[in-house]
């Protein structure tokens, strides 16, 4: 059993994903109001959490790398932290490149989906932060197995997949997307290629 997965994204009229590049809004309409619609629809799904790719996670997690000397050898098995009833912020980070400095992103509890190849020092760092983690096989590419673990260990029944494009594409390729929710932002990016 895996959670039901809804890919929830906003795009420009020309199908691009980077809001900072979009043209401005019509006069009298604020970007924040438009952005608010995305969050409102996000909340309306009443999902157990959301999933993002490593690049997107690196942009929003604000921690810095700490070197933890003499980290113990840890088994490559699921580690469930103190969730405290919060929603899940799932990051797909096969090589352990994202640094958190705390156990949440925007108040939602982080569950890192890792490859077994990550170092013990990295596992020690994120455990110290209070972050939960699971392993998606040796290389961190068993997305289907990872989704099943999110259901089994974290009780996730419904999750929102929220980009970027690479991780959305990987989920699509693995037939892990059940629904799409797409908001079209009234602006263009305009980049070619
Ligand atoms: N418009 C929106 O609603 C929206 C939403 C989210 C993000 N964004 C924007 O999208 C941009 C990032 O998008 P992105 O497509 O470059 O990156 P992404 O999808 O956020 O992350 C891609 C990374 O995920 C990791 N990954 C793990 N398993 C993977 C697999 N099976 N296949 C592919 N990648 C896998 C890889 O990390 P490694 O490189 O470590 O191997 C890969 O480089 C950001 O600038 C963000 O602001 C927009």
> From CA 185, how far away is CA 193, in angstroms rounded?
20
Pocket flag, ligand 1, residue 16 (CB < 6 Å): no
Go through the chain and tell me how many residues it has: 193
Which residue CA neighbors atom 1 of ligand 1 most closely?
A: 17
- The answer to whether residue 56 is domain-embedded is yes
Ligand 1 atom showing the smallest separation from residue 168 Cα: 19
In a domain, 109, yes or no: yes
In a domain? residue 88: yes
With respect to residue 191, please indicate whether it lies within any of the assigned structural domains: no
What pTM value is reported for the model? 0.96
Within a domain: 45:
yes
Quote the number of domains for the chain.
1
In a domain, 23, yes or no: no
Q: Which domain holds residue 86?
A: 4-18+30-185
Span 126-138, mean pLDDT?
A: 97
140-158 pLDDT per residue, tens: 999 999 999 999 999 999 9
pLDDT band at 34 (very low <50, low <70, confident <90, very high): confident
Q: What CATH code is carried by the domain that includes residue 168?
A: 3.40.430.10
Classify residue 77: in a domain, yes or no: yes
- What pLDDT was estimated at residue 26? 87
Q: Which of 125, 31, 23, 139 has its CA nearest to residue 79? A: 125
How does DSSP assign 107-148, residue by residue?
TEEEEEEE-TTS-HHHHHHHHHHT-EEEE-SSSS--HHHHHH
pLDDT in tens, 71-81: 899 999 999 99
- Would you say residue 51 lies in a domain? yes
Residue 69: band (very low, low, confident or very high) from pLDDT cuts 50, 70, 90:
confident
For the segment 41-59, the average pLDDT, to the nearest whole number, is 98
């Amino acid at each position: 059993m895996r959670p039901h997965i809804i890919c929830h994204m906003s795009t420009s009229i020309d199908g691009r994903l980077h809001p900072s590049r979009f043209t401005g809004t019509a006069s009298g309409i604020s970007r924040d109001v438009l952005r608010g619609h995305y969050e409102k629809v996000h909340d309306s799904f009443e999902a157990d959490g959301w999933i993002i790719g490593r690049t997107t996670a690196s942009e929003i997690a604000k921690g810095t790398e700490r070197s933890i000397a003499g980290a113990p050898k840890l088994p490559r098995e699921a580690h469930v932290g103190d969730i405290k009833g919060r929603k899940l912020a799932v990051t797909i980070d096969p090589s352990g490149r994202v640094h958190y400095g705390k156990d949440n992103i925007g108040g939602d509890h982080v569950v890192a989906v890792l490859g077994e190849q990550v170092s013990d020092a990295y596992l020690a760092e994120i455990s110290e932060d209070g972050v939960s983690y699971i392993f998606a096989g040796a290389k961190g590419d068993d997305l289907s197995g990872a989704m099943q673990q999110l259901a089994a260990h974290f009780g996730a029944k419904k999750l929102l997949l929220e980009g970027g494009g690479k991780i959305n594409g990987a989920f699509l390729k693995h037939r892990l997307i059940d629904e799409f929710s797409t908001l079209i932002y009234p602006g263009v990016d305009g980049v070619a290629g």
